[in-house]
Chain A
Amino acid sequence: MREQEEKMLIRLLIILTPLILGATEPITPIPQSLPYNGAKAALGKHLFFDTILSRDQTIACVTCHDFQHGGADSRLVSIGVGGKMGRMQSPTVFNAVFNFTQFWNGRAKNLAEQAAGPVHNPVEMGMTTGQIEQRINADARYRESFHTITGRSIVTFADIAEMIAEYEKTLITPNGKFDRFLRGETVLTPNETQGYALFKRFGCVSCHNGINVGGNSFQKFGVIIPMQRTPNTDDRYALTGRERDKNVFKVPTLRNIALTAPYFHNGSAATLEEALRIMAKHNLGTKLTSLEINDIIAFLNTLSGQIPPKTITP
């Protein structure tokens, strides 16, 4: 009986949702650092920058997760081994650790799982597990480094993914202006303040919230006005096969968004302004004025944080 009542109460509370705004700020600052294993992260860093992981030894992780472009790819879609074109625009590796799932459609539960994806993808690095293990085990320095950490003489693919994932814990961008504002360390300009208010009022914040200003739910690309679905795109539909999941993607992070053009899963928006207009029109059913766009962009710029340091402190 109590359960029933409880359920009724929950139901009541869920449906009785008139327009109550968020009780607290829906965005939280990035911490200064996350706990990580120094030795593993250092080794992961090596791997991250090493083309040894790609078939023709031309591509490293960093190739498509360029630190100069906010940890993402400035190209429309990433180009893999042998100049092959990928299907998706590379999401940023920065703050990826805060995403609830990885990849545009969330098919990887965590970073280690994600790390395997591009390595195996024939249009990205194009390596099988066996090949990569063979290659790393043939390298005396890697073997030695892995041995020191794992205590095993043979390096497995899981070990490699684990090290890269550990390194990615260091790839966070704290102390952006907005984070400092949230911590009460600075104030926003009137434009930025207005931009943040619009961001909330228009409902952007419904999907772009949390530590990563996104990256914590799946949403449809084109809610009000449907978007043309790119064939063979890796949306949720590719994973679930449910009609409703067509053009549904993991909400991308807006952290460092000013640095990671082009935008969307297909890179279809070259600029922030363009991306904002598309989002307003298709997802919110509204049209933004230039003034509004300027203010929102001013706000989005405050989301750029410190680029991760080159050195790893164990």
Chain B
Amino acid sequence: MRLSFKIIVAIIAGIIALAALLYFQFFSENYFSKRQQITDQINAIETAEKSLDYQVLHSGFFLYLNQDNIISKIDTVEQRIVSLDNDHHINNEHLKTLKSLETYHEAFQRKTQSIYDFQTANSAIKNATMAILAIQKEAIVIFNSTHPDERLFLKEFTTISSSVLLAKNSLDSQLIDQLDKEIDILSVYQFKESNKQEISTALIGNLKVFRDFFPQYKEAIEQLEDAETEKALLGLRQSFSAEDHTELFTVKYFSYLLIALYISSLGLIIYFLIRSEKEARTDRLSGLGNRKAYEARVRRSAPSALFLVNINKFKNYNDFYGITSGDQILIMIAQRLITLCQSWDNAHLYRLGGDEFGILIDRQENKYLEKLGQTLLKEFYKEPIVIEEIETSLSITLAISTQAPLLETADMALKSIKKDRVKDMILYHEGLNLIQVVQENITKTHELRRAVEHDRLIPYFQPIISLHTGQIEKYEALARLIMEDGEIKSIFGYLDVVKESKYYPTLTRIMVQKSFAVMKNLPHTFSINLSIDDIADPETVKMIRTTLDKNPDIASRVVFEILESEAMHDYAKVVDFIRIVKGYGCEIAIDDFGSGYSNFDHLLTLDIDIIKIDGTLIQHIDTSPHAVMIVETIVGFAKKAGKKTIAEFVCNQAVFEMVKKLGIDYSQGYYTGTPEAL
């Protein structure tokens, strides 16, 4: 997964979580404010209705009153109902509440009707009550209490007026039922005086008002007391509360969702982190843990042993079969190693470098480890590695170490046996002294660097004697280091270091420049060593050409010794170089011929003038018939091809005699002359 993708996904997850959070905040805020608003509105309705009740009560209490107060309170309740009824939130989210509100509204409309009825009856009854009392007052003045009929009438009047007041004040219909009879009794009385008759008529009229309006009055009061609206309002509250509960659930679930979202986006980021870390620790090609994973493992659990598996000459396979096939090989080896160490107890396999695998294991006994290593190698070779249907002769080297730091020690051990390639397995132990070697290498690198920096690198010349004339005919330029204490040291001990350092081209150029400077004033032919790397380095080639251009008189005395102990990748460049320098009149020698890489074909195609026979063949030629045979072959070939031969490492008289006898043209070595400054 690409990093940018991960970042985008993490950001999107973050944005979603944030958006959800904001929405939730908005939602809950909205919810609570809406809830409060609606509760407030319901409370307002209740308050308004209470206030209305008070006004109605008030109007019953007072004889006359501004009834606008009642009407305005009815209006207030109505307005609040309508306002709640029009509420957007109620209409969208609280349909049951809305229905309860309608129920309440209907109840309230009935209540309004009852209030209207109450108003009608109340006015009539209040006026009648007042009238009866006023008439009674008048009657006491007008009627003669000594007259039996009139006294009886007054008595009846008083009885009736008190029972009327009692009825009104007790809402007792029974008393009103008696009213009819009493009206009948009163109606019997007839008076001659018109004022008395008028009083009687007025009294009866008002009593009838009482009789007629009392049921309506009572009914209206009962209806007002019935608390239907109260129940409806309670129902409204309950409906809202129930629906609100549902909504609250939504809020709650939303918050859960939010937490889940938060956790999952956090999880996503953690997942990415772990994955990235895992990816960073995984070798893409083999799927094994890489160097980083290896280091983490070592840090974490300090395993006791490492098997370092190196594929021999893997670079060649890569070059030969191509990188794709090379990768194929690595995968196959990885697979094979996985299978092999599967049975090992708690073993962990890593790919530590291009062609190196490591197996960590928690065992320390050397014998056991060696046995394990042998088994590994044996099993490894049971089946050949086949690539592109070609059976390869691929081999591995195994280094085992129990000495911390595991990788460093195993690596040193591995290098120590890879050099001479005698063994294919080594167990690191202190006796190998490899750490010292490494230390020396570091020291040498420093010495070399300082020598180059302080111009303490000079050419020594070793004479090459013609075996025909016995005269010094040429010299080979050999690099020497002047140490800080003035000691002169051969470059030989530094060659490995030089090859690994960046000073290699510099060394070559210094040798070319200084050899030319020395030989300018001498008549001798001299040779300079070049490696394939030198020839492949355009800067070095350019420098050589410039030098040859500047010294045309010396050019014909120069021999370039090309070291052939390595594979010639840049064959075309070598051909080119030879053509160029031959143009200046230089000669070409092939160095260390017969050491293994040497190839007769090269001798012919590369237009070589001189063959320098490898010192390892020469130094034992007096005792080794095998060496004699090879040298004879080389000399025979050279003579036929018209090339000169030089024997190197001629170290004593026996060798000298032998090379002379074999018909070699020149001799070089400590016996015939040590390198020295000229």
Contacts and interface: CB of A to CB of B under 8 A. Distances in A.
Contacts of A218: 116, 119-120
B66 A24 contact: yes
Contacts of A1: none
A211 B74 CA distance: 16
Contacts of B169: 15-17
Contact of B53 (A10, A24, A203, A205): A10
A100 interface: yes
Contacts of A217: 67, 116, 119-120, 123
Contacts of B206: 224, 285
A136 to B, nearest CB: 28
Interface string A8-19: 001101111111
Interface string A231-248: 000000000000010001
A216 B68 contact: yes
A131 B170 CA distance: 58
Contact of B68 (A23, A206, A207, A209): A209
A219 B123 contact: yes
A203 B68 contact: no
Interface stretch (B124-132, B524-532, B578-586, B592-600): B124-132
Give the interface size class of chain A.
35 or more
Interface string A58-98: 00000000000000000000000000000000000000001
Contacts of A210: 66-68, 71
A55 interface: no
A54 B216 CA distance: 42
A140 interface: no
B56 to A, nearest CB: 8
B510 interface: no
Most A Cβ at <10 Å: residue of B63, B129, B202 = B63
A10 B57 contact: yes
A206 B221 contact: no
Nearest to B168: A15
A28 B71 CA distance: 14
Contacts of A212: 68
B44 interface: no
Contacts of B168: 15, 17
A15 B170 contact: yes
Contacts of A21: 62-64
A18 B57 CA distance: 14
Contacts of A17: 60-63, 126, 168-169
Interface in B54-95: 57, 60-68, 70-71, 74
B82 to A, nearest CB: 11
A284 interface: yes
Interface string B547-574: 0000000000000000000000000000
B64 A203 contact: yes
B496 interface: no
A309 B230 CA distance: 46
Contacts of B62: 17, 20-23
A294 to B, nearest CB: 21
B133 interface: yes
Contacts of A248: 120
Given A206-B126, A206-B127, A217-B123, A22 B225 contact: no
SS of B interface (majority): helix
Contacts of B129: 19
B329 to A, nearest CB: 84
Given A13-B57, A13-B60, A27 B66 contact: yes
B209 A209 contact: no
Nearest to A250: B116
A16 B57 CA distance: 11
Interface in A239-291: 244, 248, 283-287
B222 to A, nearest CB: 10
Contacts of A200: 64
A27 B66 CA distance: 6
A7 B120 contact: no
Nearest to A248: B120
Interface string B172-195: 000000000000000000000000
Contacts of B61: 13-14, 16-17, 20
Contact of B209 (A26, A211, A285, A287): A285
A285 B131 CA distance: 8
B196 to A, nearest CB: 15
A3 interface: yes
Contacts of B216: 244
B630 interface: no
Contacts of A23: 62, 65
A137 B221 CA distance: 51
Nearest to B166: A15
A52 to B, nearest CB: 32
Interface of B: 53, 57, 60-68, 70-71, 74, 116, 119-120, 123-124, 126-131, 133, 165, 168-171, 198, 202, 205-206, 208-209, 213, 216, 221, 225, 227, 230
Given A209-B66, A216-B67, A216-B70, 12 more contacts: A14-B57, A14-B221, A16-B61, A17-B61, A17-B63, A21-B62, A21-B64, A22-B62, A203-B63, A205-B64, A206-B123, A217-B120
4 nearest A-B residue pairs (beta carbon): A210-B68, A14-B60, A203-B127, A217-B119
24 contacts: A10-B53, A10-B225, A13-B57, A14-B61, A15-B170, A15-B171, A17-B126, A20-B62, A21-B63, A22-B66, A100-B74, A203-B127, A206-B123, A209-B64, A211-B66, A219-B123, A220-B124, A223-B127, A223-B209, A223-B213, A224-B206, A285-B128, A285-B131, A285-B209
